[in-house]
Amino acid sequence: MANRQGTAQTTLRDAVVIAGIGVHGGKPASMTLHPAEAGTGIVFQRLDASGASSVSIRATIDCLHATESCTTIASMGLSVATIEHLLAAFSGLGLDNVIVEIDGPEVPMMDGSAAAFVALIDSVGLAPLAASRRFIKVLKPVRVDNGASFAELLPFDGRRFEIDIEFSSALIGRQSFAIDLTPHNFRRDLARARTFGFLKDVEFYMSRGLALGSSLENTVVLGDDRVLNPEGLRFADEFARHKTLDAVGDLALAGAPILGAYRSYRGGHKLNAKMVEALLADSDAWTFVGDFAEPRRQPVRAEIPVRLREAAFGPDKS
Q: Which residues are annotated as a binding site?
A: 85, 242, 246
Binding-site positions for Zn(2+) read 85, 242, 246
Q: What is the pLDDT of residue 53?
A: 65
Q: pTM for this structure? A: 0.89
Query: Residue 225's pLDDT is what?
Result: 94
pLDDT in tens, 247-286: 999 999 999 999 999 999 999 999 999 999 999 999 999 9
Summarize the confidence of residues 107-130 as an average pLDDT: 97
pLDDT at 49: 59
Least confident span in 174-178, 197-201, 207-211:
207-211
Least confident range from 10-19, 148-157, 239-248, 308-317: namely 308-317
pLDDT average, residue stretch 168-182: 97
Give the pLDDT score at 114: 98
Q: In whole numbers, what is the pLDDT of the chain averaged over residues?
A: 89
Strands 159-166 and 258-265: parallel
Q: Which residues are catalytic?
A: 269
**% residues pLDDT > 70 (the chain):** 87
pLDDT reported for residue 54: 75
Span 1-9, average pLDDT: 61
- Residue 227 β-bridge partners: 222
pLDDT above 70 for 235: yes
The alpha-carbon radius of gyration of the chain (Å, integer) is 18
Predicted confidence at residue 144, as pLDDT, reads 98
Q: Phi then psi for 56, rounded to 5 degrees?
A: -100, 135
Q: Who has greater pLDDT, 257 or 295?
A: 257
Among 176, 183, 19, residue whose Cα is nearest residue 89: 183
Strands 220-222, 126-132: pairing is: unpaired
Task: Please give the average per-residue pLDDT across 49-61, as a whole number.
Answer: 81
Share of the chain above pLDDT 90, in %: 77
Average pLDDT over residues 137-148: 97
Handedness of CA 266, 270, 272, 278 (dihedral sign): negative
pLDDT of residue 197: 92
Residues 6+ apart with CB under 8 A from 293: 134
**Helical pair 269-281 and 238-251, crossing angle rounded to 10 deg:** 40
Q: Which CATH superfamily is domain 1-318 in?
A: lpxc deacetylase, domain 2 (3.30.1700.10)
Question: Which sequence spans correspond to the domains of the chain?
Answer: 1-318
